[in-house]
Amino acid sequence: MQGRYMAALSKTGRTVITLALLAGFGAALFFALRGQQRDDVQRIEQQAIATAVELKGVIALDVEPFFKDPRVIKVLAANKLPVAVTRVGSRDMAAKVVAGAAPDFLFPSGVVAANQIVDAARKANLPAAQSAPFFTPMVIASWEPIAKILVANGIAKPLSPKVYGLDMTKLTQAMLAKKKWREFKDAGAYDVSRSVLVSTTDVRRSNSAAMYLALTSHALNGDVVTDRATAQASALKLAELFKRQGYQENYVNGNFDDYVAIGIGKTPLAFIYENQLVHYALQKKGVAADMVLLYPQPTIINKVVFIGMNDRAKALSELLANNAELQSIAVEYGFRVADTQRFVQAVQPTGLAVEPRVTQVVDPPSFELMAEMIDTVAKEMTQ
């Protein structure tokens, strides 16, 4: 009896061990298979990423560094939306919208160029979806002594430490009247015989200079120019503000480079995109103590407008607008995004003061009228 009991017990033990071994083998097999499946999924995913067709795009100079950033390239690849981009002047992009040969997307600087592109797409019977994931206000980069002179003469007012609001109507009037700096009250800090002028890039080539023309035309007329006669008359008057500057760079950073490299002597007032000085401050981790921003009141918000010509391009548009990493990288390049707080917090450690919310804003004239004004100024500059 006892022998049978011991035999049964031994058999039970062997069964338990066998089951345990089977369970262990089964678990190992399960994890091995799961690991294999995971490896297979990763391999398929990597293959899909590697073989994703590049989206062809034409972009403005403003966003070229963004698209060249290795982090951006990585995020786009991970989302199977790699891009191959070519830099093209924003005003020249509409000519690229040709049925059967249009790029997948266009990313011009400014709504004037964007509207021109959309109009060209409509005429070619092509779809064109717009979004504006990044934007930046037009500002005047200046210096604390200059800002104080403008305040003393009622042309500017402090908004917060090292941030000023600028009355564009009064400034435009002073420039057209050929006012010199030494003629201003309390001009001791900049007692020079130079005319009061805002430095710009070449209006014949540069979007930022075109925005300056749009803004001064608003200052001249008290409203957005909406008819051809007013556009021509305004451009004829404002042409001298470009002619009297002398040589102007035809690329977006030329004017800004003079501001930071040469300083107050050559460039007391520089019309720029806000993102240029913000990007500089973030790169350098600071700015010169007397560098300040003047915010024209009103100003123009320069949107970098994404125009998608197909579904994959629209997916890229959504990624640019909603991906947290891409948005943060855009802020590093000085752009504002929908999350204003993210922008302000990023800039704060640099010591550069910015206006958190820009509320006094106007639109530029239509692209047809802008083209008319630019052509008029260009003709005047050759005479």
**Cα distance between residue 136 and residue 147, in whole Å:** 21
What is the pLDDT, as a whole number, of residue 100?
A: 84
The residue-averaged pLDDT of 256-261 equals 92
Sequence spans of domains, the chain = 1-35, 51-135+303-346, 136-302+350-381
Q: Residue 92 has what pLDDT?
A: 92
Task: For 350-359, write each residue's pLDDT tens digit.
Answer: 999 999 999 9
The reply to whether domains 51-135+303-346 and 136-302+350-381 share a CATH topology is yes
CA dihedral defined by 165, 171, 173, 177, rounded to 10 degrees?
160
Compute, in degrees rounded to 10, the torsion defined by CA atoms 27, 30, 31, 37: 180
Note the pLDDT of residue 9: 43
The H or E element that residue 296 is part of is: strand 291-297
pTM for the structure as a whole: 0.86
Strands (E), 112-162: 129-143, 156-160
**Would you state the pLDDT for residue 29?**
65
| Contact of 371 with 204, CB cutoff 8 Å | no
Termini Cα distance of the chain: 125
Strand 129-143 versus strand 291-297 pairing type: antiparallel
| Mean pLDDT to the nearest integer, 116-133 | 95
Q: Which of the four pLDDT bands, split at 50, 70 and 90, describes residue 21?
A: low
And the tokens for 56?
């062809």
Task: Please give the full DSSP string across 308-338, using - where no structure is assigned.
Answer: ESSHHHHHHHHHHHH-HHHHHHHHHTT-B-S
Better-scored residue on pLDDT, 108 or 13: 108
- Count of helix runs (H) and strand runs (E) in the chain: 14, 9
What 8-state DSSP symbol labels residue 189? G
Rg of the chain, C-alpha, whole Å: 30
Decide: 200 and 212 in contact? Cβ < 8 Å. Answer: yes
pLDDT value for 330: 98
Nearest-angstrom CA–CA distance, 189 and 146: 8
Please compute the mean of the pLDDT values over residues 67-95 and round it to a whole number: 96
Q: CATH number for 51-135+303-346: choose from 3.30.360.10, 3.40.190.10, 3.40.50.800, 3.10.129.10.
A: 3.40.190.10
Structure tokens at 119: 């109009």
How many other C-beta atoms can be found within 10 angstroms of the C-beta atom of residue 302? 25
CB 89 within 8 A of CB 62: no
Other beta carbons within 10 angstroms of residue 98's beta carbon come to 12
Single-letter amino acid, residue 284: K
**Kind and range of the H or E run holding 86:** strand 83-87
Using pLDDT thresholds of 50, 70 and 90, give the confidence band for residue 49.
Answer: low
Is the peptide bond preceding residue 127 cis, with omega within 30 degrees of 0?
Answer: no
Please report the pLDDT score of residue 5 as a whole number: 45
Q: Answer whether residue 256 shows pLDDT above 70.
A: yes
Spell out the residues 6+ positions from residue 271 whose beta carbon is closer than 8 angstroms to its own: 138, 139, 140, 198, 199, 200, 208, 209, 211, 212, 255
Find the range with the poorest average confidence among 42-51, 152-161, 259-268, 343-352: 42-51
In this model, does residue 263 exceed pLDDT 70?
A: yes
Q: What is the mean pLDDT of residues 114-136?
A: 95
48 or 143, which is more confident? 143
**Mean of all residue pLDDT scores within the chain:** 90
Residues 78, 83, 84: CA angle, nearest 5 degrees: 145
Could you say which DSSP state residue 225 is in? Answer: -
- The predicted pLDDT at position 286 comes to 94
Question: Three-state SS for 88?
Answer: coil
47 or 161: which carries more pLDDT confidence?
Answer: 161
CATH fourth-level superfamily of 136-302+350-381: Periplasmic binding protein-like II (3.40.190.10)
Q: What is the average pLDDT across 350-372? A: 95
With 90 as the cut, is the pLDDT of residue 238 above it?
A: yes
- Look-up: residue for tokens 């021509």? 232
Q: Which residue has the higher pLDDT, 342 or 48?
A: 342
More confident residue, 335 or 4: 335
